[in-house]
């Protein structure tokens, strides 16, 4: 059985990814660690605990981590996830359990210290603050990871916060810089892979509700995004970047387009900080431009088989 730590800034699509992981019979979630991002740390931690309850599976320990980015001020994403991060429903059950006392950074390091090298994998579906701080504190233990799957990054892209950057990387680009220079194998699942046919349309949303309480929870906690689509005159839809990142890790066969890259993170420009700059093999391996200091640091996923993803999602949330 594969073992993972999920690091999350638990908003609505994070919640769906957590439910999927906890209901996947081939996976053990060793711990959930939380970080400020979509919402503040307190809400992210509470939402992780709520997601565990609604998954109706087992309860891994939850460790709260960083309250803010390493250097910058915290920007949240309430316009996407709601003020509470879970669609502002006001009807979700209070969590049964509480977070552990240990800080997430220390928890990650301790788990890896007490595991075999390559036994644990990491999935990050929020800003990379906790991971960067753990690398600074104990890079030897962190390099016991088999790999990191990151939901983040994009080709030139506009979001409500910044030009040409995706939220998870933009929220703490200094942390992302440290992680991408860690030497740990990285799979980066970009926004491109999470759009188009991979979006849940009105029929998919109705189907999820028919699957039972768990499927309905996964839809309801995304109501802020659904209402935003309806208010703009569109059919209801939901983008699920974090569940897609989980699916890429769990079922690599859903990947249809990917490439190896030397990925850099822009940290200075106020216009494009957090942008992911992808250099392909052809960009730095041709004879005229050989730069021996460069090497691949990531596999970048830009497209998936949407039908395989949706089938996987539906099967896991079916009660």
Cα–Cα–Cα angle for 48, 124, 18, rounded to 5 degrees: 35
Query: Residue 30 and residue 317: Cα distance in Å, rounded?
Result: 20
pLDDT of residue 292: 56
Block residue for tokens 């059950």: 93
pLDDT of residue 183: 95
Confidence of residue 281 (pLDDT cuts 50, 70, 90): low
Average pLDDT across the chain, whole number: 92
> Is residue 35 a contact partner of residue 41, using CB atoms and an 8 Å limit?
yes
**Range from 47-56, 62-71, 127-136, 163-172 carrying the lowest mean pLDDT:** 163-172
Query: Residue 47 and residue 44: Cα distance in Å, rounded?
Result: 5
pLDDT of residue 162: 61
User: Is the pLDDT confidence value at 143 over 80?
Assistant: yes
Confidence of residue 233 (pLDDT cuts 50, 70, 90): confident
Q: pLDDT for 27-67, tens place per residue?
A: 999 999 999 999 999 999 999 999 999 999 999 999 999 99
Query: Residue 78 and residue 124: Cα distance in Å, rounded?
Result: 20
Mean pLDDT, residues 257-279 taken together: 89
**Strand-pair partners of 276:** 265
User: Is the pLDDT confidence value at 269 over 90?
Assistant: no
Q: pLDDT for 240-254, tens place per residue?
A: 999 999 999 999 999
pTM of the model as a whole: 0.94
Query: Residue 256 and residue 78: Cα distance in Å, rounded?
Result: 32
User: Residue 211: which H helix or E strand, with range?
Assistant: none
* Residues annotated as catalytic (active site), given as ranges: 9
Q: pLDDT for 98-121, tens place per residue?
A: 999 999 999 999 999 999 999 999
Confidence of residue 156 (pLDDT cuts 50, 70, 90): low
* 166: number of Cβ within 10 Å: 25
Assign a CATH topology to domain 2-317. Answer: Inosine-uridine Nucleoside N-ribohydrolase; Chain A (3.90.245)
Query: 257-260 contacts: CB < 8 A, separation 24 or more?
Result: 257/193, 257/301, 257/302, 257/303, 258/299, 258/300, 258/301, 258/302, 258/303, 259/299, 259/300, 259/302, 260/296, 260/298, 260/299, 260/300
Q: pLDDT for 7-32, tens place per residue?
A: 999 999 999 999 999 999 999 999 99
């Amino acid at each position: 059985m594969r073992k993972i730590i999920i690091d999350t800034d638990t908003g609505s699509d994070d919640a769906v990814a957590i439910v999927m992981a906890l209901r996947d019979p081939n996976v053990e979630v060793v711990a959930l660690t939380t970080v400020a991002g979509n919402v503040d740390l307190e809400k992210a931690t509470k939402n992780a605990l709520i997601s565990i309850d609604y998954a109706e599976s087992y309860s891994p320990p939850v460790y709260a981590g960083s309250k803010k980015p390493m250097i910058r001020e915290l920007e949240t994403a309430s316009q996407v996830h709601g003020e509470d991060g879970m669609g502002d429903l006001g009807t979700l059950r209070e969590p049964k359990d509480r977070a552990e006392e240990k800080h997430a950074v220390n928890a990650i390091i301790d788990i890896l210290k007490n595991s075999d090298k390559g036994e644990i994998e990491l999935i990050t579906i929020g800003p990379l603050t906790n991971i960067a701080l753990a690398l600074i504190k104990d890079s030897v233990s962190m390099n016991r990871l088999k790999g990191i799957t990151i939901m983040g990054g994009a080709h030139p892209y506009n979001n409500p916060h910044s030009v040409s950057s995706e939220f998870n990387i933009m929220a703490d680009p200094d942390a992302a810089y440290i992680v991408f220079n860690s030497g740990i194998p990285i799979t980066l699942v970009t926004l491109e892979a999470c759009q188009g046919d991979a979006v849940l349309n009105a029929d998919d949303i109705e189907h999820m509700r028919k699957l039972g309480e768990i499927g309905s929870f996964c839809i309801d906690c995304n109501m802020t995004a659904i209402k935003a689509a309806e208010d703009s005159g569109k059919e209801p839809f939901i983008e699920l970047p974090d569940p897609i990142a989980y699916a890429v890790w769990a079922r690599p066969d859903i990947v249809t387009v990917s490439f190896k890259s030397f990925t850099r993170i822009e940290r200075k420009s106020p216009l494009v900080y957090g942008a992911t700059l992808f250099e392909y093999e052809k960009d730095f391996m041709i004879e005229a431009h050989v730069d021996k200091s460069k090497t691949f640091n990531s596999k970048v996923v830009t497209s998936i088989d949407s039908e395989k993803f949706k089938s996987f999602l539906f099967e896991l949330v079916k009660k």
